[in-house]
Amino acid sequence: MRVGIEAINFYGGATVLDIRSLFEARQLDLRRFDNLMLQRKSVALPCEDPVTFAVNAARPLVEALTPAERARIELVVCGSESGIDFGKSLSTYVHHYLGLGRTCRLFEVKQACYGGTAALQTAVGFIASQASPGAKALVIGTDIGRATIRGSYVEPSQGAGAVAMLVGQDPAVLELDFGANGYHGYEVMDTCRPAADVETGDSDLSLIAYLDCLEHSFAEYARRVEGADFVDTFDYLAFHTPFPGMVKGAHRMLLRKLKGASPAVAEADFNRRVAPSLRYCQEVGNIYSATVYLALCGLLDGADLSVPRRIGLFSYGSGCCGEFFSGVAGPEARARLGALRKAEHLAQRIPLTLPQYEQLIDAGLEWVFGIQDKEVDLTPYRDLYDRALAGRGLLVLRRIRGYHREYDWS
């Protein structure tokens, strides 16, 4: 039986910040700007939250289905590290605003940036089990960076976005190699969100853990998949991308370790097999649970899919858990993806000045975790709202009443 991704879409926000101007404003070392390989990042407005991002990513996928197909979505699982309630899941709101049927399992999973993959593999297991033949699952990674430490070197990479995937037995976008999964997890305190408005950690230790998981996950994949070779088996690669420069370093190290490749050989291989995955990551920044799938979107939109191509994916989440897995995409994927015009959507984002960005951070700080009652006041950013969201039919938060979030279409 085939299982995998039937359709995929991302929502990368309505406003965008230029990273070089952020470096200059914060007086950060510009040598590190080159290492990031990041051009811009998406910024959430205070009337956007993980629910609106998730719904705005998923809605085009759901609307493309027939009512009969829509009724077969029997699982909605969100992966996120930007939760809004300890008990009630993001999926309950997402399910409601997408108008899905009630024969449906709803829950949320968390494991830092591995959350999207935890959600995907849960869905794949459900579909492959054939416990409900013909059912589909909606998997969404949705996250918003918490820019509470202005001027840190993490701030430039903290983006906002969501990737939605429809998982089922007609995997036109990416047929997963079922059972070809190498995973590796252990406890380490690298990066974390220990309080609702705190995102902190040790980025060097996180890099070390990422590399550890990459090496061991791939080794396990190769142990399970006879003849698997890091270079020959995969036409393309998409890795979790906290920032593109890190992926470049990780790829170079693994290639040297496995093949003794020189820096020049690694560079050529990177440009050929990895660089196509970075086109959206460079424009959106790190979107945590969803980042590896943003890389996949970039790859699917930029790669040569005139013949079936095997793609190797590496997912990593701090804390930590990593997984290397793979799938095949071909001409059918290109046909399905064409209608979504993701690059065009990114180009529509409204550029922010530094003062506007600061103002949005300040306004966002009012929306702390656990608010009981509050109306969204658009006044401080009315102009941005009007230009970026008004009339586009995107989901936005209107108020919280008795802890219950109420949304509406812009």
Among 18, 69, 170, 212, binds another protein (CB under 8 A): 212
How many beta carbons lie within 10 A of that of residue 75, not counting itself?
Answer: 21
Tokens of 99: 């108008």
The answer to whether 281 is a known catalytic residue is no
Residue with Cβ nearer another protein (153 or 367): 153
Per CB under 8 A, does 253 bind another protein?
yes
The answer to whether 240 is a known catalytic residue is yes
Per CB under 8 A, does 249 bind another protein?
yes
Per CB under 8 A, does 248 bind another protein?
yes
Per CB under 8 A, does 148 bind another protein?
no
Q: Among 240, 251, 283, 297, which one carries the catalytic annotation?
A: 240
How many beta carbons lie within 10 A of that of residue 345, not counting itself?
Answer: 17
**Sequence-ordered strand ranges (E) for 186-264:** 191-195, 198-201, 236-239
Q: Taking the mean position of all CA atoms in its chain, how far away is CA 343?
A: 16
Stretch that binds another protein, among 27-35, 169-177, 191-199, 376-384 (CB under 8 A): 27-35
3-state percent breakdown (helix, strand, coil) of the chain, nearest 5: 40, 25, 30
Q: Distance between CA atoms of 410 and 246, rounded to whole angstroms?
A: 37
Q: Distance between CA atoms of 406 and 410, rounded to whole angstroms?
A: 13
Q: Distance between CA atoms of 282 and 59, rounded to whole angstroms?
A: 24
Q: How far is the CB of 35 from another protein (least distance, A)?
A: 4
Residue with Cβ nearer another protein (69 or 212): 212
Among 246, 284, 384, 394, binds another protein (CB under 8 A): 246
Residue with Cβ nearer another protein (213 or 284): 213
Residue with tokens 């922010």: 352
Q: Among 6, 48, 74, 81, which one carries the catalytic annotation?
A: 81
- Are 285 and 44 contacting, i.e. CB atoms less than 8 angstroms apart? no
Q: Distance between CA atoms of 3 and 149, rounded to whole angstroms?
A: 42
Angle at which helices 354-365 and 19-26 cross, to 10° = 80
Tokens of 112: 């830092």
Among 21, 92, 200, 203, binds another protein (CB under 8 A): 203
Residue with Cβ nearer another protein (173 or 209): 209
**Sequence-ordered strand ranges (E) for 229-361:** 236-239, 309-317, 321-329, 350-351
Among 112, 209, 275, 297, binds another protein (CB under 8 A): 209
Does residue 117 sit in helix, strand or coil? helix
Please state, in angstroms and as integers, the Cα–Cα distance from residue 321 to each residue in 111, 171, 188, 230, 234, following that order.
Answer: 8, 26, 10, 20, 22
Tokens of 288: 């945590």
- Identity (one letter) of the amino acid at 228? A
The answer to whether 81 is a known catalytic residue is yes
Among 195, 208, 365, 368, binds another protein (CB under 8 A): 208
User: Which candidate, 201, 281, 271, 196, places its Cα nearest to that of 242?
Assistant: 281
Residue with Cβ nearer another protein (76 or 246): 246
Stretch that binds another protein, among 176-184, 242-250, 367-375, 391-399 (CB under 8 A): 242-250
Residue with Cβ nearer another protein (205 or 390): 205
Q: How far is the CB of 32 from another protein (least distance, A)?
A: 6
Per CB under 8 A, does 184 bind another protein?
no
Per CB under 8 A, does 204 bind another protein?
yes
Among 188, 222, 265, 361, binds another protein (CB under 8 A): 188
Residue with Cβ nearer another protein (73 or 266): 266
Q: Among 113, 297, 320, 321, which one carries the catalytic annotation?
A: 113
Please state, in angstroms and as integers, the Cα–Cα distance from residue 359 to each residue in 150, 159, 366, following that order.
Answer: 13, 16, 11
Residue with Cβ nearer another protein (126 or 210): 210
How many beta carbons lie within 10 A of that of residue 217, not counting itself?
Answer: 23
Q: What would the x/- binding string for another protein be over residues 33 to 62, using CB under 8 A?
A: --x---------------------------
Stretch that binds another protein, among 55-63, 109-117, 203-211, 273-281 (CB under 8 A): 203-211
Q: How far is the CB of 135 from another protein (least distance, A)?
A: 42
Q: Which residues of the shown chain bind another protein in the complex (CB under 8 A)?
A: 31-32, 35, 188, 202-205, 207-209, 211-212, 245-246, 248-250, 252-253
Catalytically active residues are 81, 113, 240
